[in-house]
Chain A
Amino acid sequence: QQQVKQSPQSLIVQKGGISIINCAYENTAFDYFPWYQQFPGKGPALLIAIRPDVSEKKEGRFTISFNKSAKQFSLHIMDSQPGDSATYFCAASYNQGGKLIFGQGTELSVKP
């Protein structure tokens, strides 16, 4: 019940294309769903986050879509660029400030 399942494990997209990464969860107590971007040798950087009372949130080229009934959420990266090549992690938490439970990560490679 504490798991967050992320797919795909790896993703190759052409420059200018749309990258889509999906996550699913079981625990309906989760109330915060962030996405993190991590470059090799660096710490995860908070990219964008959503709460379950909203179905979509957009920040620049990054959009989170949230489906509460299906217990799924996804990250869309529009106009993907080679500089977006990194590992992306979805996560979930509850209890106002509790631990983050991470998905397994998706290694994104954007080809020029």
Chain B
Amino acid sequence: NAGVMQNPRHLVRRRGQEARLRCSPMKGHSHVYWYRQLPEEGLKFMVYLQKENIIDESGMPKERFSAEFPKEGPSILRIQQVVRGDSAAYFCASSPGAGGFHEQYFGPGTRLTVT
């Protein structure tokens, strides 16, 4: 059973460009979470999605950031007009939902560098 997959693993963007981060959950998992890890800091929740629904976006910055989890395909975290402060590791996690709500399994992350 393949784990959570994220791509790209490394992404370099110049200030003002857009970054798109993709996450494919584990097989059978219908819940996706995005977290951000700044250098030398812990993990901070950003957004929680189920298929076609945003459940909790309380950790998302109000501007420039958006997330989706369409009926088909991976979840996408989109950052518009990136700034240097967006440089971080972005992790996606998935959980099975019913019967195993709490268990979140993380992907390898996408390391975003803004130059």
Contact = CB atoms under 8 A, between A and B. Distances in A.
Which of B45, B97, B108, B109 has the largest number of chain A CB atoms within 10 A?
B45
Contact of A104 (B31, B42, B95): B42
Given A97-B97, A99-B59, A44 B45 contact: no
A43 B92 CA distance: 9
A44 B106 CA distance: 6
B42 A100 contact: no
A46 B42 contact: no
Contacts, number: 55
A46 B43 contact: no
A49 interface: yes
B91 interface: yes
B48 A89 contact: no
Q: How large is the interface on A (under 10, 10 to 19, 20 to 34, 35 or more residues)?
A: 20 to 34
Contacts of B48: 98-99
A42 B42 contact: no
Contact of A97 (B42, B95, B105): B95
Interface string A101-112: 111110000000
B18 interface: no
B10 to A, nearest CB: 10
B24 to A, nearest CB: 14
Interface of B: 4, 31, 33, 35, 41-45, 48, 56, 58-59, 91, 93, 95, 97, 101-109
25 contacts: A32-B102, A34-B102, A34-B103, A34-B104, A36-B106, A42-B108, A42-B109, A43-B4, A43-B106, A43-B107, A44-B43, A44-B106, A45-B106, A46-B103, A46-B104, A46-B105, A49-B102, A97-B97, A97-B102, A99-B33, A99-B48, A99-B58, A100-B33, A100-B93, A100-B104
